[in-house]
Chain A
Amino acid sequence: MHSSLFSFLVNHVHVFIKQLTTHIALSFSATILAILVGLPLGIWAYQQSSVRKIILSITSVFQTIPSLALLALLIPILGIGFKPTIVTLMFYALLPITRNTYTGLSQLPKETIEAAIGLGFTRWQRLRMVELPIATPIIIAGIRTATAMTIGITTIAAFIGAGGLGTFITEGLALNDSRLILLGAIPTALLALIVDYIIAQLEFSLSAQKRQQLRLKKTKLTTIILLAGFFIFSYGKYGSNNFFSKSKNTIVVASKNFTESYILAYLMSELIEKKTKLHVINKFNLGSTAVIQNALLKGAIDIYPEYTGTAYIAILKHQRILSPRKTYKIVSVEYKKRFNLIWLPPFGFSNMQTLAVTKYFSKAHHIKTLSDLSKISSQLTLAAPAAFLKRGDAFPALQNAYHFKFKNIIQMQPDLVYDAIKNKNVQVIEVFTTDARIQAFNLKPLKDDKNIYPPYYAAAIIQSNILKKHPEIRSALEPLFGSISEKTIRQLNAAVTLQHRTPKAVAHQFLMEKGLLS
């Protein structure tokens, strides 16, 4: 089912334009916000030597915070989507704008300032008529840096469901589709270059050839109109498409950023759409458990598929490993009590995390269990996502039980670990037992012979008040409960990660074949 590149592009043209305009709207809003904040800050730093150091260091510090971390920190305050993204991007764009404003102003010729004072300019008149105009080229240069940078960083918006070109990149990673990654990466780079060029023109026309007033005004005007038009167009587009104000009969279905979560979310979203009168909005591809949990608590999303084990350990912070059934019971009770969230019945399959090696390697070294692996671990390199390596229930728990001594441990995106083992860069990776790539890549998941790791049930979590208000959601999803076996989910996963079909199409076909849409 490999579609040709051409049909791939044709299929994506609509969503591409949407994400492109979203991307422009996000990065421009953030840059404009950064100008509105950064310019006064720079002026303040220039006029008040007492606050100068503080302002310049704080703006610098913002830039050293990893963007994803800043985003995650803002979620509890601002929720997911548009707002935290803009604020995060704004903080990043702040430094070049503030610093250049300050630098531009502080490098003004002394005699010019003296003349302005001596001629009786007030402080404000001096700033407006003399200091800012002369510093403008340097300030514009700062804005230029900020804009180009912001366009690049806006790709992180995808992690918290704000859209933009980054969506293609994260989707591409989740779905193992490099065409999607390129569809996100190349236009992002091009956009940054084009905007940089436009602003460079503006910068040039402001700095040089000032004597040709007429020409200057024309260029300046054209550029500004062009930029403004660009912005307004994008904003309007974005507004109509994406600025969702949740109406009463809207339900937001979310997913995490890997294939299985996508498929489950699409199954739910299509059933709710077809079987109820509710309007469904999909907010897929949300960064991590913390992000999606916060989004649910903030009411930014209503329902998403989760694993009991993850909830049990990552959210509820339990340590003792219990049977799958007991785990499900505990998370249901505690989620209701603590968060007023309801766990719907499990989909049927359970998914386990474990370590895997290649079948060839397993045979060659007689490794079948994690205990076997431990014996030779000092010669091996492990690749796994950060969540697995750092979460107490995951790798540290295994480490405690099996005493691994890996030569090297590499932290990686969930989907890149498969490439890593395929390319023989590493010998051991972390896998989900339902992942289709286990078969496709000839991997051998190792048995957790000390039973450290609980099998995870997959089930949907929904806001309790939504379920009360719309009990029809439960009935709509009823056919999915207990009906997806491990074999089924592995096949569905394979259709996406190996045959490069969209999760939406795979989910749809499954529902059709099961006769659930009639």
Chain B
Amino acid sequence: MIRFNHISKSYNNNDACIIKNVSLEIETGETFVLLGSSGCGKTTLLKMINRLVEPSTGNIEINGKDVRKYQPEYLRRTMGYVFQQVGLFPHMTVEQNVSIVMQLLKQPTKIRKARAHALLDLMDLDPKIYAERFPNELSGGQAQRVGVARALAIDPNILLMDEPFGAIDAITRNELQETMLKIRKQIHKTVVFVTHDIFEAFRISDRIAIMHQGGIQQIGTKHDILNYPKTNFVRQLIASATLMQDKG
């Protein structure tokens, strides 16, 4: 369980407060989506979990232990992290990219290779074709599949996904979401997923936190949010989404 206790974040002066007193709990094994428009603080919140960003006030606990008690590097290695910009290492093959964290943890080469190939399989990439390729030989969707495989390499309990499919075209995004749903059934992980796409949120989430201007508007399942919107902002969001869907 990941627990945010009264988290606020401001840079230098208090005027520009980007997170305002956020408290929430993410249950072990659930896929929890942070949904909001850009600049609402959702990525900042995500980055606090593995200490890429430190809160100004408040604290975060994982299974009851304050994250500040961990070495940042150690903490990050125990979690998977998928980036919007993918960030594959251009000088390494797909296989090397997937096994890099295992290498940091000094796991034997044989195990690394087997695991990398299994993960590529899981992400619907044939290792025979892709293992030896370099990132610049992959399409955007393929690259992000490798990105997810890399995040899963050390079999983390927590997977952090920062708008992972945000920069990918709609069709490929759809395929990736399907793969996500598929692997969710196979691996049991706590996933924290940041997106600004309400359909993506509805599709893959167990629960959603809707954020606006650094604060939480509502936390709930897709069902809760659609049927019992708590604030005006949530109502507007649903309305505009419905409108878009009708048009589409």
Contacts and interface: CB of A to CB of B under 8 A. Distances in A.
A111 B87 contact: yes
Contacts of A117: 52, 76
Contacts of B233: none
Given A111-B85, A210-B134, A211-B134, A119 B77 contact: yes
Given A120-B75, A120-B101, A211-B137, A115 B83 contact: yes
B100 interface: yes
Interface residues of A, number: 21
Given A119-B150, A211-B132, A134 B104 contact: no
A117 B76 CA distance: 8
B225 to A, nearest CB: 29
Contacts of B228: none
B80 to A, nearest CB: 9
A119 B81 contact: yes
A116 B91 CA distance: 13
Contact of A115 (B77, B89, B103): B89
Nearest to A108: B90
Nearest to B137: A211
B73 A118 contact: no
A130 B89 contact: yes
B87 A114 contact: yes
A121 to B, nearest CB: 7
Interface string B66-92: 000000111111100101011111110
Contact of A120 (B77, B91, B133, B137): B77
Given A122-B73, A211-B133, A115 B90 contact: no
Interface in B38-57: 50, 52
- Residue from B81, B87, B90, B150 whose CB has the most chain A CB atoms within 10 Å: B87
A213 B77 CA distance: 28
Interface string A120-138: 1110010001100110000
Contacts of A118: 50, 52, 76, 81, 83, 87
B86 A133 contact: no
A439 interface: no
A23 B230 CA distance: 81
Interface residues of B, number: 28
A115 B104 contact: no
Interface string A100-121: 0000000001111011111111
A118 B88 CA distance: 12
Interface in A67-125: 109-112, 114-122, 125
B83 A129 contact: no
Contact of B90 (A114, A119, A125, A134): A134
A119 B77 CA distance: 6
Contacts of B89: 112, 115-116, 129-130, 134
A208 B161 CA distance: 32
Nearest to A111: B85
- Residue from A112, A121, A133, A213 whose CB has the most chain B CB atoms within 10 Å: A112
B160 to A, nearest CB: 8
A244 to B, nearest CB: 46
Contacts of B91: 130, 133-134, 210
A112 B90 contact: yes
Contacts of A121: 73, 104
B87 A112 contact: yes
Chain A interface, DSSP helix/strand/loop, else mixed: helix
A133 B134 CA distance: 14
Given A112-B89, A120-B77, A210-B91, A125 B104 contact: yes
A114 B104 contact: no
B87 A120 contact: no
Contact of A114 (B74, B85, B100): B85
A134 B91 CA distance: 6
A129 B100 CA distance: 9
A134 B97 CA distance: 14
Nearest to A137: B91
B11 to A, nearest CB: 18
B83 A111 contact: yes
A109 B85 CA distance: 10
A427 to B, nearest CB: 65
Nearest to A206: B91
Contacts of B88: 112, 115
A79 B149 CA distance: 61
A121 B93 CA distance: 18
Contacts of A110: 85
A121 B134 CA distance: 21
A130 B73 CA distance: 16
A287 B6 CA distance: 75
A122 B137 CA distance: 28
A213 B93 CA distance: 10
Contacts of A112: 87-90
Nearest to B81: A118
Nearest to B153: A119
Contacts of A111: 83, 85-87
Contacts of B101: 119-120
Contacts of B133: 211
A319 to B, nearest CB: 67
A111 B137 CA distance: 18
Contacts of B73: 120-122
A115 B88 CA distance: 7
B87 A115 contact: yes
Nearest to A119: B101
A100 B104 CA distance: 28
A129 B50 CA distance: 21
Contacts of A116: 87, 89
Contact of A119 (B74, B100, B132, B137): B100
- Residue from A115, A120, A133 whose CB has the most chain B CB atoms within 10 Å: A120
Contacts of A130: 89, 91
Contacts of B103: 129
A111 B90 CA distance: 11
A431 B70 CA distance: 80
A134 B77 CA distance: 22
B108 to A, nearest CB: 17
A123 to B, nearest CB: 9
Contacts of A213: 93, 132
A130 B100 CA distance: 10
Given A115-B87, A119-B76, A134-B90, 7 more contacts: A114-B85, A115-B85, A116-B89, A120-B78, A134-B91, A211-B132, A211-B137
Interface of B: 50, 52, 72-78, 81, 83, 85-91, 93, 100-101, 103-104, 132-134, 137, 150
Give the 5 A-B residue pairs with the shortest CB-CB distance, closest first: A115-B87, A120-B76, A120-B77, A111-B85, A111-B87
11 contacts: A109-B87, A111-B85, A116-B87, A118-B76, A118-B81, A118-B83, A119-B100, A119-B150, A120-B73, A129-B89, A129-B103
